[in-house]
Amino acid sequence: MRAALALLALAVAGCATTQAPPAETRWVPDFGSNNVFNTEPGAAPGHRLVVDDLRLPAGAVGATHYHPWEEYLYVIEGSAVLDMVGHESRTLMPGESVVIPARQVHTPRAGPDGVRGIVVRVHDLADPIRVEVDE
């Protein structure tokens, strides 16, 4: 029993002194859409949860496309310009979000300082994640 308590005390002490990695080792995503999750959630069989860490350089323009299901965008840094067919362009700043309706044709653009954001989508497993459209 004493040996077990001693091992437990050493383990707890080791956890207490563990430090976070230095800032320079922090993960920085590549430019583009960096996938964080692409999985079938247990709570929604037959569906796919897709979460991307989006990072685009200043002025970058993505391909015109749509998704079979809704898309949710939250801007973390910079700004995003959202061009949706049939709507006025909209600029999203840090802390702002938008829901892009299912099958809404849109063209994403990064603002003058680029953009970093989180994109979330839920699809049927059989559906494509994105469908490109000729402009």
* pLDDT attached to residue 10: 39
Domain ranges of the chain: 31-132
* pLDDT attached to residue 27: 67
> Which pLDDT tens digits describe the chain residue by residue (135 residues)?
444 334 334 344 444 444 555 556 666 778 888 999 999 999 999 999 999 999 999 999 989 999 999 999 999 999 999 999 999 999 999 999 999 999 999 999 999 999 999 999 999 999 998 999 986
* pLDDT attached to residue 24: 61
CATH number of this structure's domain 31-132: 2.60.120.10
Encode burial over 3-32: b for 16+ CB neighbours within 10 A, e otherwise. eeeeeeeeeeeeeeeeeeeeeeeeeeeeee
* pLDDT attached to residue 32: 85
* pLDDT attached to residue 17: 46
Long-range contacts of 95-98 (CB under 8 A, 24+ apart): 97/72, 97/73, 98/72, 98/73
